[in-house]
Amino acid sequence: MTHFVAGEALARLVLGFEHTAFRLEQRDDRYREAEEDEPFRRFLEGESATTTGWNDEWEHMLRARSSRGERMTRVRVVKEPHSAYTRFLLALAAVNVSAGEDVRY
């Protein structure tokens, strides 16, 4: 049985950790989070995925938790060639990695 957790339920689950969080992502298509719609549309038009500031709160949270020694690790299983959405996530992963998250593909 597959369980899909999204939105605020996902945020509570992911952010409720004390020392280490691990997330395995096996979806190669969009998660359909409303907050991603506009940044993804702009990305498809050639804009950087990271210029709109929509992900700043997540980045600041990662930096704060990382500075306290808390670890977040994510593994994404994706198909090749990469979909547009996977390319969007790869661009965002660069920001997350610089903020302290360990993201692997």
User: How far apart are alpha carbons 50 and 56 in whole angstroms?
Assistant: 9
Asked, for residue 99, whether it belongs to a domain, the answer is yes
Asked, for residue 59, whether it belongs to a domain, the answer is yes
User: How far apart are alpha carbons 34 and 16 in whole angstroms?
Assistant: 22
- Look up tokens 């994510």; give the residue: 74
For residue range 22-64, list pLDDT tens digits in order: 989 887 777 777 888 999 999 999 999 887 788 898 899 999 9
Domain count, the chain: 1
Asked, for residue 17, whether it belongs to a domain, the answer is no
pLDDT at 1 over 60: no
- Look up tokens 């945020």; give the residue: 11
Asked, for residue 11, whether it belongs to a domain, the answer is no
Confidence class of residue 6 from pLDDT cuts 50, 70 and 90?
Answer: low
Sign of CA dihedral 81, 83, 84, 88: negative
For residue range 60-98, list pLDDT tens digits in order: 999 999 999 999 999 999 999 999 999 999 999 999 999
Asked, for residue 50, whether it belongs to a domain, the answer is yes
- Look up the domain containing 36 and give its range: 23-104
Q: In this predicted model, which residue has the larger pLDDT, 83 or 1?
A: 83
DSSP 8-state symbol, 46: T
What pLDDT does 51 receive?
77
Contact present, 85 and 40 (Cβ < 8 Å): yes
Asked, for residue 48, whether it belongs to a domain, the answer is yes
Asked, for residue 47, whether it belongs to a domain, the answer is yes
